[in-house]
Amino acid sequence: MSLVAGLDLGTQSIKLVVYDPASRQVLATQGRALDLIAGDDGSREQHPSDWLDAIRACFAAVDPALRARIAALGVSGQQHGFVPLDAEGQVLAPAKLWCDTSTSAQCAPIMDAVGGVAACIAQAGNPILAGYTASKLPWTKIHRPEVYAKLAAIALPHDYVNSWLTGARWMEHGDASGTGWLDVRTRTWSSALLQATDPERDLSACLPPLVEADALFPVRPEIAAELGLSPQLRVSTGGGDNMMAAIGTGCVVPGRLAMSLGTSGTLFAYSDTPVVSDSGAWAAFCDSTGGWLPLICTMNCTVATEQVARMFGFATREGDAHIDATAPGASGLTLLPFFNGERTPDLPLGRGVLTGLTAHNMDAAHLYRAAMEGATYSLKYGFDAFVSAGMAFDRVVLTGGGANSAAWRQLVADVFALPVDVPVQGEGAAFGAALQALWALGRAQGDATSMAALAAAHVATDPARACTPEPRRAPAYRAAYRRFTDHLDAVRPLYAAPAA
């Protein structure tokens, strides 16, 4: 039986899973760390060549016999990144990433050019937020004019990897939603927003064609040989990491809320119609199955706990003991964990804020709890916007590195007052990319199985890691969350974005 594979190009690492649909088992998992180029101006960049080197290393570590059996491959990629390419497809500069806030000053002018935030949402369904691809273009024009002058093609990170694998250029609707240029209601590029980004240039000429979610492309023979793959392998459209995680967690039917606790934190829910916020309270994205994916994103999730663990010299795997040793609310300690700026709440120039220090709570355990709670409260802030819009959920499906923490799983159940499930396959985005490849391959062979049915068959949850809310903790968490939002309101004016 043929195998399928999924690659996830994340901020911190590349991950590869090889999946056997017949036995419903992951047969191989590999990962390689990536370096991040960080600047004091908020810039966060990576060299695309490092992505390719990591992919090569991941495949090289897999048994050649397994590699030869892979029939289809899907690629998941960190959203919003900007890979500038010249006319020959060569990279012109490091890729600016989703967590890059150096372009914050370029957001408002784009929106102003179409009539403001409300007009921007009316045009495309989303405002232009810090991190979205659109603001990276005028930044590049100002700060890297020689790169902008040679720019012939715009690629998102997963687009770039797909092009390397296949020699073809395309973009799918889910990842394209995060550029800021896609009208998510019609699934077409907004000419008004492209012109607002650069009125002196036709940026649409730099964008690849949009394709449907079930498209397949042949691998380049030389890449197949280099990676030890079958020359008959097909590459699926892939998508943004959130869209692939939605598939990998089974979030492809209405009513299920998925939460990813990774470098960034995300909440997303499937819809079969566009779900647009008039105020821009959430991202109104398309998904990568033909539906839509209203999404909340925070820019600081496991980053917060990792920073505290590093400061006190312990590993995050030891962090649960600190949570168990402290009470909900961290004895009055509150951390606004905006180390990379923040998207939810919308404070791209925000910084971490620690308040409520006393002689009693100024220790590693309380600060670690405050970091975990703060990252969770940021997600709760976005969840409240979903609920206020009438969305309802009966449980949370948890994925990402933070889901490995029993304490964090219970914290989510308690703060959100919902039961928590955790999929058996921990690499939600890479596994989702593999499932999308399986779905697309099946459709190409005449199998009409829906993505919902396929996910139901292959996405299993682990009963040993399920959690239910503890009602006795609810009052303490409600009080701590109110304290979090009070401090947020107090510091918000300090981090307002300046004019361009």
Q: Give me the amino acid identity at 86.
A: D
Residues 166-172, mean pLDDT to the nearest whole number: 96
Per the DSSP assignment, residues forming a β-bridge with 37 are 45
Confidence of residue 340 (pLDDT cuts 50, 70, 90): confident
| pLDDT exceeds cutoff 50 at 34 | yes
Catalytic residue among 214, 241, 287, 414: 241
| pLDDT exceeds cutoff 50 at 21 | yes
| pLDDT exceeds cutoff 70 at 499 | no
Residues 347-374, mean pLDDT to the nearest whole number: 96
Place of tokens 């690499």: 427
Instruction: Write the pLDDT tens digit of every residue in 277-309.
Output: 998 889 999 999 999 999 999 989 999 999 999
Distances (CA, A) of 430 to 59, 98, 99, 238, 348: 14, 18, 20, 10, 28
- In this prediction, residue 254 carries a pLDDT of 85
Instruction: Write the pLDDT tens digit of every residue in 236-249.
Output: 999 999 999 999 99
Confidence of residue 497 (pLDDT cuts 50, 70, 90): low
Q: Yes or no: say if 274 and 307 are a contact pair by the CB < 8 Å rule.
A: no
The span from the CA of 151 to the CA of 146, in Å, is 9
Confidence of residue 346 (pLDDT cuts 50, 70, 90): confident
**Cis ω before 199 (30° cut-off from 0):** no
Mean confidence (pLDDT) of the chain? 95
Lowest mean pLDDT: which of 25-34, 174-183, 425-434?
A: 425-434
394 is catalytic: no
Q: Is the pTM of this model over 0.85?
A: yes
The span from the CA of 230 to the CA of 227, in Å, is 9
- In this prediction, residue 1 carries a pLDDT of 59
Lowest mean pLDDT: which of 28-42, 56-70, 198-212, 390-404?
A: 390-404
- In this prediction, residue 498 carries a pLDDT of 60
Q: Yes or no: say if 71 and 233 are a contact pair by the CB < 8 Å rule.
A: yes
Question: What counts of helices (H) and strands (E) characterise the chain?
Answer: 18, 24
Confidence of residue 273 (pLDDT cuts 50, 70, 90): very high
